[in-house]
Structure 1
Amino acid sequence: MALDGREFRAADGRRAAEVVVADFLRLAPAREQTASSRVDVYFEPFTSDGIPVEPHPALQVKTLLASGLPLSQRFKTAWGEVTLRDLAEDVKRDFRGEQVESGESAWMLEALSLSSRPGDSFRDSTGQRVRVDEVMIRALAALETANAELAEGMKAKRPEVPKRGQGIYAHPCGGLHYFQAVAGWARHASVRTAWRQRLAAQVDVLLYRLDSETRQYESAWASAPAERERVLAQMLKFQGHLLETLGRLREDTGWRPTPAQQQTVERARRYLENTVRRMDQTGLLAAPASVAGRDKQLALDLVGDTCHAARGESLWSTRELTRPVAPSPPR
């Protein structure tokens, strides 16, 4: 769905969005609900046999919103119908302020962003009033803090900042989903105006990361032949997510890269092309069943990250490709 949007279909012909909700949405036990409460639903993180469904909180609701489905979209479940608005409201009820700075909050933040507008507020399940603008400002500050070491390296013109699991590197997918969630809020003109300089500084850091990290991957590729599959998987993840993040920035906010920034984008596309070529040469692309047999998580990562990479490339390609629609959904 990240690549083909709302029309993507499962093998049985159903729309993927319908499969996600009908087959994997669960109703919370009745004892956890009161007569006056709205229906409490959730997606299990994994199926009973270990297949990931929602490894990150609010991932599925964020994906449904980002595919362009309206909030009025109805889905059938075992106990009746729910709307996408119901699912978005459930994310809001589950919100807790202490989650904002966590890297795991990226999908929740984007679900809030895609289902809200500046000035909106809601009450969480404790009755606390939550103002979406304040949440997103906190998230921007958290992004700046997480990127602080990279920002220092960039200003000092260091060729690279070592990855040691610090700052933004402690986030899932290197914090690129967190960046998408924060920057996506700037689809609103008032936010773009208020955040202009701060967001531009974060874009510069993101562009700096391309060569900083690629140097480290190339070093690992040359020095650790036994780990090349994992190095390639990390290169695919980073380069694909980076292109997707920059492409979404352009589509969401109207970002216009300078000539120098566009050169960095094109360099990222070449790096990704080279990574995919290496994956093909090593057999990593040709034998997914073999990969799954020896490393199930690697196989799952390759599927997901290939989709992100394909979308990232499509957002910068001059060829006509199917793209999902991801505006703030109709109210």
Structure 2
Amino acid sequence: MPFVPLLLAGLSAVPSPPASPEATLRAVCQTHAADPGHPWALAHGITLEGRDFRARDGRRAVDVIVSDFLRPGPRFEPFTAEGIPVQPHPALQEKTLVLASVPLGRKFQTPQGPVTLKALVEALQRGFSPALASSPDGAWTLDALGHVLPPGTTFRNGAGESVRFDAVMDEALATLERAQAELAEGMKAGLPQVPKRKQGIYTHPCGGLHFFQAVASWARHPAVRKAWDGRLEVQVEVLLYRLGSEARQYEAALAASPEHRLALLSQSLKFYGHFLETLGRYRKENGWRPTPKQQQTVLRARQLLEATVRRLSEAQAFQRMPTLAQENPQLSWDLLGDACHAAHGLELWK
């Protein structure tokens, strides 16, 4: 039957369908976050894949991070001697391990001897400054401690100061309100957008979304929600408004500055991915049930993220990451970390 070989030949010539945006992001994270010499990348792999994520050398990423990169103190340096990021944001690694549900009693082997995650958390408490409640760099410490300390906790830091953690998180909520005040005013006035001028929430790393996550997560406690009396829900509405405001500005910038297309698309990936992750965590940890209107905004964020991933793929951005690592390390790091956060955001909304 001569038509059978012809049919099979025709089928073999059909190109494979393009990967979905979610599959593309997950592949980028799994491929580039497994470098055992890149602890910051490993942390992002854990964020997506969980505590059993493994480095390319076969070891669990959590073991590589602590065993290879922890210094006496115990502490993590921001960067290695070669300039590779370890935790450019204070407590990023501790927060990653805590949120991945690594047991506090888990022992890690280090050149200084065995160290537990509990010891790392206690070191955060010793080094804690109440000023972190109003600092853009406080997000990761607040998130880490907020997951191990119950409401009502008071501890002493290394300076001998008594730290009441409820008061710290109350100030963190007030900081979030101040940082989003201009966006809140724009929302109330019905403005289509509030220009980004590195003001307010835009002075924070990743647009303040890690800080938002830390504050919102603390409100998973019923007593905290009651004490805050709807204030966090107002900030959630501001965040939902922010999606349209920023999307308009990204599109305008892409049209006006095509020479900066890759950097602008990378910024879009960061915002849309972190936006979905933030609200996904809020739903998972706090039991948030979005209204139909809010659900439409989440759907719109997913559509914007998927469109951004397709544009980045068309620009060969992900395929060029090894080259970018040499030519523009910061951009390559952003693409990797934000791909992991974006894939995690999509996973939380399945």
For normalisation by structure 1, the TM-score amounts to 0.91
User: Is the contact made by 1:183 and 1:249 (CA closer than 8 Å) also made in structure 2?
Assistant: yes
1:138 offset after TM fit, Å? 0.5
**Match for 1:8: what amino acid?**
F
Q: Which of 261, 267, 270 is the equivalent residue of 2:300?
A: 267
**Match for 1:12: what amino acid?**
D
Q: Which of 44, 62, 65 is the equivalent residue of 1:17?
A: 62
Superposed CA offset, 1:221-271 (max 9, x none): 111010000000000000000000000000110011000000000000000
Q: Which of 164, 175, 181 is the equivalent residue of 2:197?
A: 164
Distance in 2 (alpha carbons) for counterparts of 1:193 and 1:14: 44
Secondary structure of 2:115's match? strand
Distance in 1 (alpha carbons) for counterparts of 2:332 and 2:225: 39
Gaps of 5+ in 1: 28-39, 318-331
Q: Which has the higher contact order (CA 8 A, sep 6+)?
A: 1
Q: What corresponds to 1:153 in structure 2?
A: 186
1:196 offset after TM fit, Å? 4.2
Q: What corresponds to 1:8 in structure 2?
A: 53
Distance in 2 (alpha carbons) for counterparts of 1:161 and 1:90: 40
Superposed CA offset, 1:53-93 (max 9, x none): 01011111000000011211111111111111110010011
More displaced stretch, 142-151 vs 65-74: 65-74
Distance in 2 (alpha carbons) for counterparts of 1:286 and 1:55: 25
Q: Which of 247, 258, 261 is the equivalent residue of 2:291?
A: 258
Secondary structure of 1:6's match? coil
Q: What corresponds to 1:111 in structure 2?
A: 144
Distance in 2 (alpha carbons) for counterparts of 1:306 and 1:246: 17
Gaps of 5+ in 2: 1-45
Alignment of 1:1-331 (within 5 A): 1-27=46-72, 40-317=73-350
1:194 offset after TM fit, Å? 2.1
Secondary structure of 2:246's match? helix
For normalisation by structure 2, the TM-score amounts to 0.86
**Structure having the higher Rg:** 2
Distance in 2 (alpha carbons) for counterparts of 1:5 and 1:148: 35
Superposed CA offset, 1:180-206 (max 9, x none): 011010121211222241010000011
Distance in 2 (alpha carbons) for counterparts of 1:193 and 1:251: 19
Distance in 1 (alpha carbons) for counterparts of 2:198 and 2:120: 33
Distance in 1 (alpha carbons) for counterparts of 2:256 and 2:112: 55
More displaced stretch, 95-104 vs 231-240: 95-104
User: Is the contact made by 1:240 and 1:309 (CA closer than 8 Å) also made in structure 2?
Assistant: yes
**Match for 1:213: what amino acid?**
E
Distance in 1 (alpha carbons) for counterparts of 2:290 and 2:112: 49
Secondary structure of 1:100's match? helix
**Match for 1:50: what amino acid?**
G
Secondary structure of 1:297's match? helix
Distance in 2 (alpha carbons) for counterparts of 1:196 and 1:312: 27
**Match for 2:66: what amino acid?**
V
More displaced stretch, 287-296 vs 226-235: 287-296
Distance in 2 (alpha carbons) for counterparts of 1:285 and 1:12: 23
Distance in 1 (alpha carbons) for counterparts of 2:320 and 2:100: 30
* Aligned residue pair count: 305
Distance in 2 (alpha carbons) for counterparts of 1:154 and 1:182: 21
Q: What corresponds to 1:31 in structure 2?
A: none
User: Is the contact made by 1:106 and 1:178 (CA closer than 8 Å) also made in structure 2?
Assistant: yes
